[in-house]
Amino acid sequence: MTQSFISTKSIPVNERLIMALDVPSIDEAKALVEELGDGVIFYKVGMELFMCGDYFGFIEWLKARGKKVFVDLKFFDVPATVGRAIAALSQKGVDLATIHGNDAIMEAAAANKGDLKVLAVTALTSLDRGDLDDLGFQCDVRELVLSRAKRALAIGCDGIVSSGLEVSMLREELDNKLLVITPGVRPVDNREDDDQKRVVTVEGAFQNGADYIVVGRPIRDAANRKAMAETMQAQIAAQFV
């Protein structure tokens, strides 16, 4: 039997599902949140919504409804700029935020995060071995993810974003020292037209040791979105019985 690394962190089970609001307008995002109701507590707001208008007003709208917020903008810039951006974001009531880049960028973010939890991106779930070759990374995907996770931990980041395929390795190497947020989660095997290449199921993500999963299209594109969210919440709850 494969070893289980189920999370022991004190996180309410219904907050372990993070819904990705990858929709083209703030109005559509609000409608989706209202449609899902109490089926989803935690939301990811990313680059698409950032370009749509009142991004921070929408974050305030979410917080006013008792929701948690994950800002996924993958800050990558001169370290001082990233530090100031994270410091400003920490005043917005946001719960999680992503950064990208080298040690100096991570150090600047960690030094300015306040109560905001900063997550370092390891390797995007849309990248495979061939993509990393194209980007000039002459190492195995797992080696890259582990290296970046170790550096994030040493520098003072709160967690990482990692494919569920690498999470069990991270738990073996680093135990429960970092929050691990896993995107690219699918309720069934991957479709051929899916641009996410390194994906796992809900059960696989949590058995491998994820603390949270990020789900977008499986809920957004479902015929009954609230029912799909509730089904996935039930799948998650079954892992923590």
Residue-level pLDDT at 181: 95
For residue 99, count other CB atoms closer than 10 A to its CB: 25
| Annotated domain spans of the chain | 13-239
pLDDT, position 8:
94
CB 104 within 8 A of CB 151: no
Q: What is the pLDDT of residue 203?
A: 93
Check residue 1 and give its pLDDT: 44
Per-residue pLDDT at 27:
97
Q: Which of 30, 63, 68, 74 is catalytic?
A: 74
pLDDT at residue number 185: 87
pLDDT of res. 44: 98
> For residue 43, which of 73, 69, 15, 16 has the smallest C-alpha distance?
69
Tell me if residue 74 is catalytic.
yes
pLDDT at residue 145, rounded to an integer: 84
**According to the model, what pLDDT value does residue 133 have?**
61
Fold of 13-239: TIM Barrel (3.20.20)
pLDDT at position 143: 84
Mean pLDDT, consecutive 10-residue stretches, the chain (241 aa), reads 85 98 97 98 97 95 98 96 98 96 95 97 62 62 86 96 90 94 74 54 94 96 96 96 89
Count the neighbouring beta carbons within 10 Å of the beta carbon of residue 173. Answer: 12
Nearest to 14 by CA among 239, 181, 233: 233
Strand partners, 121: 161
Cα–Cα distance, 33 to 30 (Å, whole number): 5
State how far the alpha carbon of 206 is from the alpha carbons of 84, 150, 162, in Å.
Answer: 34, 21, 12
